[in-house]
Amino acid sequence: MTIPLVELKNVTKRFDKRTVLDRVNLTIFEGDITTIIGKSGVGKSVLLKHIIGLLKPDEGEILFNGKRLKGMTRKERKSFKQQVSYMFQSNALFDSLTVFENIALPLREKTRLHEDAIRSKVLAQIDRMELTEVTYKYPSQISGGMQKRVALARSLVTEPKIILFDEPTAGLDPLRKNTVLSMIAHYQRKIRFTAILVSHDIPDVLFISNRVAIIDSGRIPFQGTPMELEQSENPVVQEFIKGQASLKDELTGLDTRRDIENMLIQEMGRVNRLQESFPVVMFTIDNLEQINEHIGHIAAQEIIQCLGTLIKDHFDTADTSARYSQNEILMVLPHTGLKEAKQVLDELATDLQKQEIFQAKTYPKACFSFSILAGLAEARPGTDLDSLMGQVLSHQKIIAHLKCTKNGETA
Amino acid sequence: MDQTTNSVFAPFNWLGRFSIAFIGELGAIGIFFIHAFCLIFSLPLQVNKTIQQVFFIGAKSILIILLVGIFTGMVLGLQGYYTLVKFGSEGVLGAAVALSLIRELGPVMTAIMIIARAGSSMAAEIGIMRISEQIDALDTMDINPIRFLVSPRIVASLISFPLLTAIFDVIGIIGGYLSGVVLLGINSGIYFYRIESSVVMQDVSGGFIKSLVFGIIVSTICCYQGYFTHMRPGGFGARGVSLATTSAVVLSCVLVLIVDYVLTSFLL
């Protein structure tokens, strides 16, 4: 078994007489996005501050690459700190420095790079985060969402191996929230850092996480993959998910994956009993990565939002649709015939193509292609869930697309 | 019996607690200063930040020092004249003004003016950085916050205090000239002759040492109060910062005056 990158062993922390962490054990593996979820005030931030060494445990120990944080020499601690960066819940931007200076600070102070190299690095980061127009503004002059992006840029600029995110989406609207999460996932794939997130945005945050840990009354009753979380029988986990997960996906206003899976299982049972069938549709936004890359994360989230709204408008209220993953929407139509479903799908395709998001003039500066796929399959008696999903995906074809044809070229 | 003993000893208890807390605080401030002072010499030197602080603490204080200096000198000339004229010795006014300025009023008044102008803003700025987690952010970036925030301010104070004191002394002597010579008609040659004959190098170097010590006291206490805003009982957030600023100003004024007495008794 691989050595975990960070390991907390029986960590206990008390503030006065209140025990915030009670013999917490947590393992974090390299290259993963680990999300720590929990109600507010249960010690999520405290846990994170222990990992970076802002707080020291009363009992227990924290290991980094199998080495105790407490027993590190000065040099080892320095090299550890250089590999870690921390994004504060309150952003903790230096309010007397401009956006540019904020992002440049860790480079200016901790590296021996030439000012020109620093400048180009920082400007590239600013460009990626879509902050170009506020480069020389002060943090108090820009919006909350922008401040979050500045904080994200500042934690990314040193290219650390581990980034700790303390509530990166707190206080943002659903669009920005998903934007920040998608940015984290995007850069995590690109730069391959290990991310530790603290959040309570279920289910959004589960789409991007490899591992999840729940923290409740000072302990960690569960840690595992998001899939294990959803299937966990542990009553604490069950209660927690029910209590914390929002009923609707905030970005699209559709149901959550959990709801639709429950419903699908129920409907399949009905199908088997009554020997009926019903259609299932899966929409996928292709090339979401390219959209992120070329026109930005916000635009990508807007496309998902637009698709969700259109789907809601076109289908019956008795049908259920849910955000299935970051770029997939699953739809179950238990009271619709296959033919009818096809017809509605065609109408939706025509409408979708007319949307602004599919007009090249919406993106005057970028040249890229993307498409939305839809696959229709029928749940018949005897089909199981996995093969149904397989069928839906294999039947997918393009229903709307945008192709860049600037200068006669196709991107 | 217990209650009576308690009420009798209560003031002593309080005094004891207060003294222990006060001595403890002084010790903490001392360690804080030594830490920050040693970090001044860690490489690479923070030349730019120090220059910025010299500009803020020093250059931007010149106007207020000029204003306070000229009026202090003028009032010294006025008061000195009316006292000296009773003994018919108004000729030594120049010496009286210059000696009291160079030995005493220059360093002390300059220190108090800088506490009011720059010391309070040091405490408030660092305090706000503390409560908005900016200092923690520096720590997570492996930037030593004491080196980054406190050391340049201490160097800048060590540079600015003596220079501002010198400006204060000169402008004060000119102020004394204005009231004594221009308004009250003392001979201008005698005014300056008396200054030249009575002021010796020891007076100037005494004032210089005082201003250096005051620079250390003011910058250390003001930075310390801001830096530990979050540890302060009875106030968090904005209130904590306001309390920190107030105690930075009060404590450094009081300490400047106490240390002034001690230093004078040693320097005499």
- pLDDT over 70 (residue A246): no
Is B148 domain-assigned?
yes
| Cβ neighbours for A41, distance < 8 A, ≥ 6 positions apart | none
- pLDDT over 80 (residue B187): yes
In angstroms, the separation between the Cα of residue B131 and the nearest Cα of chain A is 10
Q: Which residue of A has its CA nearest to B144?
A: A109
Place of tokens 């004078």: B264
Three-state secondary structure of A117-184:
HHHHHHHHHHHHCCCHHHCCCCHHHCCHHHHHHHHHHHHHCCCCCEEEEECCCCCCCHHHHHHHHHHH
Is B216 domain-assigned?
yes
Q: Which of B125, B134, B139 sits opposite A54 (nearest CB)?
A: B139
- pLDDT over 90 (residue A270): no
Q: What percent of chain B has pLDDT over 90?
A: 39
| Per-residue pLDDT reduced to its tens digit, B76-94 | 888 988 888 888 887 788 8
**C-alpha distance across the termini of chain A, in Å:** 43
pLDDT confidence of A411, banded at 50, 70, 90?
Answer: very low
Quick one: pLDDT at residue A1?
A: 56
- pLDDT over 90 (residue B108): yes
Is B39 domain-assigned?
no
Domain that holds residue B79: 50-267
Q: What percent of chain A has pLDDT over 70?
A: 93
Quick one: pLDDT at residue A408?
A: 43
Is B42 domain-assigned?
no
* Number of domains chain B contains: 1
| Per-residue pLDDT reduced to its tens digit, A70-125 | 878 888 888 888 888 888 888 888 888 888 888 888 888 888 888 888 888 888 88
| Distance, CA of B138 to CA of B119 (rounded, Å) | 22
In angstroms, the separation between the Cα of residue B225 and the nearest Cα of chain A is 19
- pLDDT over 90 (residue A20): no
Show the CA angle centred on residue A190, arms to residues A187 and A192, nearest 5°.
Answer: 90
Highest mean pLDDT among A30-34, A167-171, A218-222, A291-295 belongs to A30-34
| Per-residue pLDDT reduced to its tens digit, A184-212 | 888 888 888 888 888 877 767 777 888 88
| Cβ neighbours for B96, distance < 8 A, ≥ 6 positions apart | B76, B80, B84
| Distance, CA of B206 to CA of A133 (rounded, Å) | 55
Is B220 domain-assigned?
yes
- pLDDT over 80 (residue A289): no
| Per-residue pLDDT reduced to its tens digit, A329-378 | 888 887 777 788 888 888 888 887 777 777 777 777 777 777 888 888 88
Partner-chain contact A92 B133, CB within 8 Å: yes
Q: Is the model more confident about B121 or about A377?
A: B121
* A chain contacts of residue B134, beta-carbon cutoff 8 Å: 92-95
- pLDDT over 90 (residue B190): no
* A chain contacts of residue B148, beta-carbon cutoff 8 Å: 109
Provide the number of CB pairs (under 8 Å) joining chain A to chain B: 44
| Cβ neighbours for A334, distance < 8 A, ≥ 6 positions apart | A263, A267, A270, A278, A318, A319, A320
pLDDT confidence of A236, banded at 50, 70, 90?
Answer: confident
Q: Which residue of A has its CA nearest to B134?
A: A92
Is B120 domain-assigned?
yes
- pLDDT over 60 (residue A245): no
Quick one: pLDDT at residue A317?
A: 64
pLDDT confidence of A23, banded at 50, 70, 90?
Answer: confident
Q: Which residue of A has its CA nearest to B132?
A: A92
- pLDDT over 50 (residue A410): no
- pLDDT over 70 (residue A248): no
| Distance, CA of A268 to CA of A380 (rounded, Å) | 8
Partner-chain contact A88 B141, CB within 8 Å: no
- pLDDT over 80 (residue B215): yes
Q: For the purposes of burial, counting CB atoms within 10 Å of the CB of B242, is it exposed (0-12), middle (13-18) or buried (19 or more)?
A: middle
Partner-chain contact B141 A110, CB within 8 Å: yes
A169 touches chain B (CB under 8 A): no
Per-residue pLDDT averaged across A381-395, rounded? 79
